[in-house]
Amino acid sequence: MTEKESDTKYAGQIKTQVLIAAGMSLAAAVVVFAVGAPLPRALAWLALLSTVLYSGYYLAFDRIAATSSRLTNSAMGLIGAAILTLAAHFTGGIVSPFVFMFFTILLSEGVYGVAGSYTLPAITAGYLGVVLGQYAGLLPHSNPWAAEIYASLPATLLIAGITVLYLFLMRRLSGQIFEKLNLKLSRERELKDAMMRKFSELNATAQLGVLAHRIAHDMRGPISCIFGYLEMEMAKTKSPEDLEVLRGVRETAAAMVESLQGITRFGKQGGPGCESIHLSDMMKDLVAIASFSPLSKGVSFKLDNPEQNNITISACRQDLQQAFFNVVKNAVEAVSGNNDDKLVAIGIERDGRDARVTISDNGPGMTEDALRNVFRKSLTTKSDGTGVGLMITRDLLMRNNGAIKLRNRAPGGLIAEITLPAA
Q: What is the reported pTM?
A: 0.43
* Average pLDDT for the chain: 79
For residue 114, is pLDDT > 80?
Answer: no
Residue 420's pLDDT is: 94
Q: What is the pLDDT of residues 323-341, one digit of tens each?
A: 898 899 889 989 988 888 8
Over pLDDT 70: what percentage of the chain? 77
How far apart CA 89 and CA 87 sit, in angstroms, is 5
Q: Which of 278, 226, 215 is nearest to 250 (CA)?
A: 226
pLDDT at 386 over 60: no
Sorted by sequence, the CB contacts under 8 Å of residue 150 that are 6+ apart come out as 93, 94, 134, 135, 141, 156
Residue 358 confidence (pLDDT): 95
Asked if pLDDT for residue 299 goes beyond 80, the answer is yes
Name the more confident of 195 and 32: 32
Going by DSSP bridges, is the β-strand pair 403-408/300-303 parallel, antiparallel, or unpaired?
unpaired
Say if residue 272's pLDDT is above 70: no
- Give the domains, in start order, of the chain with CATH numbers: 3-151 (no CATH), 270-421 (3.30.565.10)
Greater confidence (152 vs 17) lies with: 152
User: pLDDT by residue (tens digit) across 46-91?
Assistant: 888 888 888 888 888 788 777 665 555 667 778 778 888 888 888 8
pLDDT at 361: 94
Report whether pLDDT(33) > 60.
Answer: yes
Instruction: Encode pLDDT of 166-194 as tens digits.
Output: 888 888 887 787 778 778 878 887 777 77
DSSP 92: T
The arithmetic mean of pLDDT across residues 124-139, rounded, is 90
Measured CA to CA in angstroms, residue 340 lies from 299, 336, 343, 366, 410 at distances of 10, 10, 10, 19, 18
Q: Which of 107-111, 208-212, 229-233, 385-389 has the lowest mean pLDDT?
A: 385-389
Helix, strand, coil: what percent of the chain each, to 5? 65, 10, 25
From 160-169, 187-196, 260-269, the region with the lowest mean pLDDT:
260-269
3-state secondary structure (DSSP) of residue 310: coil
> Hey, is 60 helix, strand or coil?
coil
Residue 357 has pLDDT above 90, yes or no: yes
**Spatial distance between the Cα atoms of 291 and 299, rounded to a whole number of angstroms:** 8
Q: Of 333, 317, 347, which Cα lies nearest the Cα of 390?
A: 333
Rounded mean pLDDT, 201-225 = 65
**Residue 135 clears pLDDT 70, i.e. is over it:** yes
Give the burial class of 348: count Cβ atoms within 10 A of its Cβ; 0-12 exposed, 13-18 middle, 19 or more buried: buried
Strands 403-408 and 414-421: antiparallel
Q: Is pLDDT of 100 > 70?
A: yes
